[in-house]
A and B are shown apart, each in its own frame.
Chain A
Amino acid sequence: MAIPAFNSPDPALVAFNRFGLGARPGDRDSIAGDPRGYLKAELRQADIAMISPDDPAYANLQGSTPAIQASMAANFQRKLERERMAAVAQPGAASAQAVPTQPVPAGKPSVPPVEVVLFRAEAQARFDKAVRVKAGFVERLVCFWSNHFCVSVAKDTVVRASAGAFEREAIRPFVLGRFADMLLAVEHHPAMLFYLDNQQSIGPESRAGKNRKRGLNENLAREILELHTLGVGSGYTQADVTSFARILTGWTMAGRDGRLGEPGNFVFNANAHEPGDAVLLGKTYPACGMGQAEAALNDIARHPATALHIATKLARHFIADTPPAATVARLAKVFAKTDGNLRALAVALIDMPEAWSTPLMKIRSPFDYIAAIRRAAGPGSANDPGQSLGWLNALGEPLWQPPGPNGFSDGADGWTSAEGMKIRLDIAWQAARQVKDIGNPNDMLEALIGPAASPETRQAIAHAESKQQGLALLLMAPEFQRR
């Protein structure tokens, strides 16, 4: 089987495809022969990773606390409505009178649930940002970390309402910061605590555990060790998982009743926390309430296995599905030497010779692909993320909805399925059809791919039978698919 002929990748294509979200018209000109400098300049831009409601463009976004509160209120209303319906269904039941009836006006257009409204606003912000940024390297890092520390909106309404806020609050601020800080922010976040069930994990010997005969849920503890930090097979045992689960008990979210604190906020519930010292990975963590888990997280964030795990995933994401061991080792060393400084890791990736010499054999993930289309051919609807979300669903990467806590696949195989390629074909066609003012596709090829375009791609586009078809061919070209 022939391999794609990208033997010496064009540096600008490396910058835009391997590291970024694809060139927009004009972007190639501003790279000015210094693709490394171009990428590093993006890392230096103030608040480049942030999406803040303070920015007028994102003023409609809400923090996770109000978002979760809105979801709680909506859940309560839905519960009342269900009870009312149940009561109505049993005429003569005494409770029918007790439940206040709120007649639903006939013909009233159905309003989407608040969780859906919040989710769509967050999705729109993410698509917008992906088009607004210059190279998109930082957005790629955001996507990488968001997938590494994934939550799923399929879990329940709380996660659906807060998944976008989770990314903005726990991922983005730390994407060029310290790994340990991101880890702590993530594991404190209500969306993660809900997603991995820690909000209901109760220390068996805690006051709540003794009273209520409920106990440990080790889901979060296991996934932190297996997925977020050390990596599977790195030497931790079931005893470590169980012990870590005990350590994490009490990390929860304040409920709607406000008994534990501001509803929707992270709270440490001492009543549910397993008392006593605990041993994790051979080290004893003395009982100290919430600080016990924080100390443990701070240690495992700096564990050599964590460095290796993160280095492997970064190299797989940005260099090749099976990265050379030396590449991984070098990144792990940077991780260890800089105390998990993620900006230093990003710079190290840019400075790796293999990043510029390895053929572009990976394929754009669905989000990458859609972002690249939007950047190349126009951003789509300004206030309706529906089409982009639909494309992501069709391609098997629904936004913030991975199949499991290990996130979406990061290998090319995962995204080059027969069905996937057929759907890419459909999407390229649709995207090209809706561009209002297509310029000459040959010129677009020049602007977006430039000298990296193969003669075959050039020819295919030059011979396209319409501008739409020419643009669609460009969006399907290997130079556009591979990264």
Chain B
Amino acid sequence: MSLLCEVPDPSRRAVLMTGGALFAWAYMPRLARAADNRDPRLIVIVLRGALDGLSAVGPVGDPDYAGLHGDIALSLTGPHAALPLDGFFALNPSMPVFARLFKNSQAAVVHAAATGYRDRSHFDGQDVLESGFAGPGHVATGWLNRALENLPSGDRVATLGGLAVGPSTPLVIRGAAPVLGWAPQSLPAPSDGFAARVLDLYQHRDTVLAVALQKGLDADRMALDDQMGAKAMKPKGGPDSAAGMRQAAQGAAKLMAADDGPRIAALAFDGWDTHVNEGGATGRLATLLGGLDGAFEEFEKGLGERWKDTAIVVITEFGRTAQINGTVGTDHGTGTVVLLAGGAIKGGRVIADWPGLKPAQLYEQRDLAPTSDVRAVLKGLLADQFGLSAGTLGDKVFPESAAVKPMQGLVA
């Protein structure tokens, strides 16, 4: 399965072809690892709500893309031109840090990826993504925690435990292995998306409450504008605002940079469910992506010399429809992107077995068809960073997934 991007770029293809060989090297005994003084770290960022992979990393070279994604499609021209990654894919312009990392071979994209889940419920999709089980309903432990648990006893990474960022522990890192919790001090303020949903519900069910809440939100916004006018504004917003994402990364990086700090961390950001006015190169999604980009920057800065051994992986429960809907947004879909960043990543590549966007090529004629398994990416990272075997990964960490082989050569 996996890998090759059908992009006429022989140089990258050649690089990818060597991936297998490099991977074999990665399975050299751990001793070698100690000898080269590596101290690997893995950061998992879960984007809840389903990221539109086609707006984060647009297949601008696909002739059907612009027509399907309509007004919000990324484009290489115009005032908010997307940042070209290669001749085929371009990055949302709100992510200059990721673009720089990509250029420096410290970031990569796996496109047209999905877990094994094929329905379109957020809750179930997140359960599958985070639990690592084949189906929903397993909510006691997450795959990242089980990865910690299955490290050899006495392993330093296991002893140092995991780090859960945010007021509640993301499922992905819940479990028996010890996990440190940390949350930014600021009270979590709800995302605008949540407020809009409550307002919408009130408008349909309880107009008295709708009027009151609308006024409250307006007043809040005005207060914010005043503060901005006075240049006295501290970035307001919860963990899911752009500032909040940055703040969470900053704190996590500080904890993880310490010699005795956790080597494995999980963060979860909400707000990616862009059904209405999603925006493309600018707008709501772009703002969120900008926040995520800020998180990358904070990790890079905060981890300092540890950045070179760090891998960040960004995952989401599923993608969104290839065609925009009637409210200039996208509905729940299937295939999406996995973003990889960090000094440890063998970057500068978009890894994709591109399925195409013609009606017959779309999954159920509506979604980007998945051609890579998110679990393969995660397994590849866990194998390369911590030496977990394919057997353990296919049995303990991601139960009943032996058929999904670890993706090779993700780590430099």
Residues of A with Cβ closer than 8 Å to B? Answer: 1-5, 363, 416-423, 425-426, 428-430, 433-442, 454, 456-457, 460, 462-470, 472-473, 476-478, 481-482
Contacts and interface: CB of A to CB of B under 8 A. Distances in A.
B216 A478 contact: no
6 contacts: A4-B206, A417-B216, A454-B205, A468-B48, A473-B197, A477-B201
A411 B273 CA distance: 37
Contact of B216 (A418, A438, A472, A476): A418
B218 to A, nearest CB: 8
A161 B278 CA distance: 54
Interface in B200-221: 200-202, 204-209, 211-220
B176 interface: no
B168 A476 contact: no
Contact of A476 (B167, B193, B201, B217): B201
B201 A465 contact: no
Nearest to B189: A426
B201 A421 contact: no
B265 to A, nearest CB: 18
B333 interface: no
Contacts of A429: 188-190, 194, 238
A8 to B, nearest CB: 15
A472 B167 CA distance: 14
B262 interface: no
B180 interface: no
Given A419-B219, A476-B198, A1 B122 contact: no
Nearest to B274: A465
B336 to A, nearest CB: 14
Contacts of B211: 1
B135 to A, nearest CB: 14
A200 B238 CA distance: 50
Contact of A433 (B139, B166, B212, B216): B166
Interface residues of B, number: 47
A426 B187 contact: yes
A436 B168 contact: yes
B126 A467 contact: yes
Contact of B123 (A441, A456, A460): A441
A421 B123 contact: no
A416 B209 contact: yes
Given A418-B216, A421-B209, A435-B168, A456 B204 contact: yes
A1 B214 CA distance: 15
A423 to B, nearest CB: 8
Given A1-B208, A425-B195, A470-B123, A419 B216 contact: yes
B267 interface: no
Given A4-B209, A473-B197, 19 more contacts: A1-B207, A416-B212, A422-B219, A425-B194, A425-B213, A429-B190, A430-B187, A433-B188, A454-B205, A460-B201, A462-B121, A464-B273, A465-B271, A466-B126, A467-B126, A468-B48, A468-B168, A473-B194, A473-B198
Contacts, number: 139
A363 B212 CA distance: 13
Interface string B56-85: 000000000000000000000000000000
B168 A421 contact: no
Q: Which DSSP category, helix, strand, loop or mixed, fits chain A's interface?
A: helix
Nearest to A469: B194
A457 B193 CA distance: 16
A363 B209 CA distance: 10
B272 interface: yes
7 nearest interchain CB pairs? Answer: A422-B216, A465-B273, A465-B49, A418-B215, A429-B190, A418-B216, A466-B48
A418 B219 contact: yes
Question: Considering residues A422, A454, A457, which has the most beta carbons from chain B within 10 angstroms of its beta carbon?
Answer: A422
A384 to B, nearest CB: 15
Contact of A478 (B190, B209, B238): B209
Contact of A422 (B123, B200, B220): B220
A457 B219 contact: no
B270 interface: yes
Contacts of B201: 456-457, 460, 473, 476-478
Contacts of A470: 122-123
B56 to A, nearest CB: 16
Contact of B213 (A418, A467, A468): A418
A478 B212 contact: no
B207 A465 contact: no
A477 B200 CA distance: 11
B194 A472 contact: yes
A454 B203 CA distance: 13
Contacts of B220: 422
Contacts of B189: 426, 429
A472 B198 CA distance: 9
A300 B169 CA distance: 57
A361 to B, nearest CB: 9
Given A433-B188, A476-B201, A464 B122 contact: yes
B404 interface: no
A35 to B, nearest CB: 23
